Amino acid sequence: MIARRVVVHGRVQGVGYRDAAVQAAYAIGVAGWVRNVRDGTVEAHAQGDPQAVERFVEWCRRGPPLARVSGVDVSDAHPEASLRDFSWRATT
- Indicate which CATH number applies to the domain containing 77: 3.30.70.100
Sheet holding 42-48, edge to edge: 68-76, 2-11, 42-48, 31-36, 86-88
Catalytic one among 5, 36, 68, 89? 36
DSSP assignments along 23-59, one per residue: HHHHHHT-EEEEEE-TTS-EEEEEEESHHHHHHHHHH
Would 20 be classed as within a structural domain?
yes
Q: Tell me, what's the pLDDT at 92?
A: 78
20 has pLDDT over 90: yes
Q: Read off the pLDDT band of 62 (50, 70, 90).
A: very high
Catalytic one among 4, 5, 11, 18? 18
Would 79 be classed as within a structural domain?
yes
18 carries an active-site annotation = yes
Give the residue-averaged pLDDT of 23-27: 98
The number of distinct structural domains making up the chain is: 1
- Domain assignment of residue 40, given as a range: 2-86
Give the residue-averaged pLDDT of 33-38: 97
36 carries an active-site annotation = yes
Would 91 be classed as within a structural domain?
no
The pairing of beta strand 2-11 with beta strand 68-76: antiparallel
Q: What pTM was computed for the model?
A: 0.94
Q: Read off the pLDDT band of 91 (50, 70, 90).
A: confident
Q: Which helix (H) or strand (E) holds 18?
A: helix 17-28
